[in-house]
A and B are shown apart, each in its own frame.
Chain A
Amino acid sequence: MEAPSIAAGCDVSTGRRLRKRGPRQGVRWGRFLLIATALAFLAAFLLLPLLVVFAQALSKGAGVYLSAVSDPMAWAAIKLTLMVAAIAVPMNLVFGVVSAWAITKFQFRGKSALISLIDLPFAVSPVIAGLTYILLFGAHGWFGAYLQEHDIRIVFAVPGIVLATLFVTFPFVARELIPVMQAQGKDDEETALSLGAGGWQVFWHVTLPNIRWGLLYGVLLCNARAMGEFGAVSVVSGHIRGLTNTMPLHVEILYNEYNYAAAFAVASLLALLALLTLAGKSLLEWRQPELRHTVHLARATTGKQA
């Protein structure tokens, strides 16, 4: 695999390769430096904050931690967060698969416009997203009068939180799937069709297995963001304790009340949820090594031979 450099030559009499020390040594140092930089960065910006969260959470002892976590208001926040994620993630999963399918398998007018639209939530600040919902559904918003007449509450209630979360987590699944599906092309699907499979069978038996890892990554990212979203949710929630407070909002309230240990205790729960999803993913990969092999293939181009 090593490309012969010009500096290295061949000793014709012995056939032995002559090698200069310099460049080889340089490569080794370069590799060490790159790895060290990456590890130092990870430690400083990811591992350390995570440790601080748990250290702070337990700083006043396990009793304070447990009471902060089992507080009814905290429980309400946890339940609301899980419920919002349970609604937003499946909806965006369906949307992500449908739009990635449409974009990668078909040619149609307005395709690039659709791709830009999917990216919109990344480009727009979540706070603005929240404000647009206030503008639409708030008491003085476009649909405000109609909603009040029919006694439907969206803003400062759970539906508003779900809507804001949906908007913010919109792109994750689609963005993850589009490159995977583009690399795979249409050959597998067309083969399945020629073998007599129907559209739904093609999706279920061919497309879905091919994209499942991309899909899982997308869902994990989507879920992490759905549980952790602060900006957009903060605007539409109204911060009603026990009713419209999600975990991130609850953490902020506790923090603003100088209740650090409790704030970090709830924060550590959020972090734990994130770690659990990651562990779940690793477990899946570990249980099915054959599949782990295929995801790398799927991510490389399909035309190459293994």
Chain B
Amino acid sequence: MSITLRGVSKKFGAFAAVDDVDLEIPTGALLALLGPSGCGKTTVLRIIAGLETPETGQVLFDGRDATLWPIRERKVGFVFQNYALFRHMSVFENVAFGLKVKGRRERPAAGAIRNKVQSLLELVQLDWAGDRYPTQLSGGQKQRVALARALAVDPEVLLLDEPFGALDAQVRHELRRWLRRLHTELKFTSIFVTHDQQEAIEVADTIVVLNRGRVEQTGVPGDVYDLPRSAYVHRFLGQVNELRVKWHDGRAHLGPIDITGDPALDAYGSDRIALVRPHEIDIGSESNGWPAIVRDVRVIGPIVRLELCADGRPANEPLEAEISRERFDMDRFHIGQKVGVRFRRWQVYPAAALGIGRAVRG
């Protein structure tokens, strides 16, 4: 089922949670709504589910206006952040719930319900847990029960609110891969909400970045990461170093590096900030580039993260650089070493877009 949002807005009191949002979600998409807390992503999800009614705008399901459809007629599966399993029911009864509450004419026979629940429990690898109660399960298992329960009523859309938020890193990683596989197998439209850019990039086909109730950028994960359309998106997806552009003698500089001619620089003396991702920094010999001292070295598996105190920058705002393990093994940088820093890529934004005077994020 394809879903379209047209000019959807929703206020809570004076606070505009969702502000004139347009979205086009094709059938079979796996889409992430990404943003910090309070950006309106959960409200968008709840509007699609029918748990909230927008004040203006339309929600279309397969082109039909579904704005006022009650939730039970939408054929959506909704999975809550805290799973919302029915505590007094066993795992089996939880999954069977959606089938048992159907009207007498639609309801499958008891045997059919049993078979369906059993196959769903196998799908989520919990066929051994049918008699358990939710309190006896781990977080990851509860999450899978919640998914199986949502899938039991054959939804055409699966909506997940921070589905992996409360799980530890290892389980989260496994469940992400598992959800991707499930999506590929079952081919329904899935929309999930997350504040974790890593998760959005790893799982989704399409990322929608939200900011203060508005859509900031939509695109495939690689594009949103590489070609951010605003400083907000640039900073939200991945780590960045922030560098104030300095002007003297008619030229623009990041430290000693001349960036005059960058199309985003605008008029002479304008207040601009450049964002550089850690992996866009090259480290070489001291004579080559911006002189800096290595302050910290962390080997993190295949990558090595260095903290660099660049000449002329405050000591509490070190540059963060990431180089490959192979590159590191060639030069063996060590703490206290003098090096030269160069930028392979950077992007210039008006300082006002970032909030002037903010400390550099690591």
| A residues neighboring B (CB under 8 Å) | 187-188, 190-198, 201, 205-206, 209-210, 290-291, 293-294, 297-298, 302-303, 305-306
Contact = CB atoms under 8 A, between A and B. Distances in A.
B173 to A, nearest CB: 19
A188 B86 contact: yes
Interface stretch (B76-84, B205-213, B244-252, B293-301): B76-84
Contacts of B337: none
B101 A198 contact: yes
Contacts of A191: 78, 80, 84, 86, 149
Contact of A210 (B72, B87, B142): B87
B71 interface: yes
Contacts of A206: 86
A303 B152 CA distance: 24
Contacts of B253: none
B88 A193 contact: no
Contact of A293 (B70, B77, B135, B150): B135
B166 interface: yes
A209 B88 contact: yes
A305 B72 contact: no
Contacts of B97: 192, 195, 197, 205
Contact of B87 (A192, A196, A294): A294
Scoring B70, B80, B84, B142 by chain A CB atoms within 10 A of each residue's CB, the highest score goes to B84
B87 A297 contact: yes
Contacts of B78: 190-191, 194
B103 to A, nearest CB: 9
B84 A188 contact: yes
Contacts of B87: 209-210, 294, 297-298
B153 interface: yes
Interface residues of B, number: 29
B225 interface: no
A203 B51 CA distance: 17
A294 B70 CA distance: 31
A6 B270 CA distance: 54
Contacts of B166: 305
Contact of B101 (A195, A291, A293, A302): A195
B71 A197 contact: no
B135 A306 contact: yes
A191 B97 CA distance: 10
Contacts of A193: 70-72
B232 interface: no
Nearest to A186: B51
Nearest to B74: A194
Nearest to A305: B139
A196 B134 CA distance: 21
A196 B101 contact: yes
A210 B88 contact: yes
B121 interface: no
B89 to A, nearest CB: 8
Nearest to A296: B135
Contacts of B72: 193-198
B86 A194 contact: no
Nearest to B79: A191
B153 A196 contact: yes
Nearest to A303: B82
5 contacts: A187-B80, A188-B84, A193-B71, A209-B86, A209-B88
Nearest to A192: B97
Scoring A196, A206, A305 by chain B CB atoms within 10 A of each residue's CB, the highest score goes to A196
Nearest to A209: B88
Interface in B120-158: 133-135, 139, 142, 149-150, 152-153
A59 B76 CA distance: 70
